[in-house]
Amino acid sequence: MVNLAAFASGRGSNFSAILTYLEERSLPAHYAVLVSDRAQPACAEIALAKGIPFLHLNPKTFASPDEYAARLLRELESYGVEWITLAGYLKMIPALVVQRYAGHILNIHPALLPLFGGPGMYGEHVHKAVIESGMKVSGATVHLVDEVYDHGAIVLQETVPVHFEDTPETLAHRVLEVEHRIYPRAVELAVLGKIRIHGRRVEILP
Query: Which residues lie near ligand GRF (CB under 6 A)?
Result: 8, 10-14, 87-88, 108-110, 176, 179
Please, what is the minimum distance in Å from the beta carbon of residue 77 to ligand GRF? 25
40 CB neighbour count, 10 Å cutoff: 10
Q: Which residue in 1, 175, 190, 191 sits closest to 88, CA to CA? A: 175
Tell me, yes or no, if 163 is annotated catalytic.
Answer: no
Please, what is the minimum distance in Å from the beta carbon of residue 87 to ligand GRF? 5
Please, what is the minimum distance in Å from the beta carbon of residue 63 to ligand GRF? 29
Nearer to ligand GRF, 71 or 170 (CB): 170
Nearer to ligand GRF, 153 or 176 (CB): 176
161 CB neighbour count, 10 Å cutoff: 11
Out of 109, 127, 143, 180, which one is annotated catalytic? 109
Q: Is the separation of the CB atoms in 38 and 29 below 8 Å?
A: no
DSSP run (H or E) holding 29: strand 29-36
Nearer to ligand GRF, 11 or 77 (CB): 11
Eight-class DSSP state of 64 = S
158 CB neighbour count, 10 Å cutoff: 16
- Active site members: 109
